[in-house]
């Protein structure tokens, strides 16, 4: 398992964890609409991907 693949897996796990946490918070606030959670999830993925593109040493 090379480091690039490992880093991608770790970043995906982190993104999933953050998105799950945001989803839990939104659910507690009363948002039942899953589309809001999906939009936030996609936004987090795009932001994380652009950060990884700018700083490949991370």
Place 7 in a pLDDT band, splitting at 50, 70 and 90. Answer: confident
Place 58 in a pLDDT band, splitting at 50, 70 and 90. Answer: low
pLDDT(37) > 80: no
Q: Residue 31 gets which letter from DSSP?
A: -
Average pLDDT over residues 32-50: 76
Alpha-carbon span 27 to 20, nearest angstrom: 10
Average pLDDT over residues 12-35: 76
pLDDT(57) > 60: yes
pLDDT(31) > 70: no
Are 17 and 35 in contact, with CB atoms under 8 Å apart? Answer: no
């Amino acid at each position: 398992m090379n480091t690039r693949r490992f880093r991608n897996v770790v970043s995906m796990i982190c993104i999933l964890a953050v998105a799950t946490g945001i989803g839990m918070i939104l659910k507690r606030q009363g948002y039942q609409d899953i589309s809001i959670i999906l939009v936030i999830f996609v936004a987090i993925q795009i932001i994380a991907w652009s950060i990884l593109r700018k700083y490949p040493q991370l």
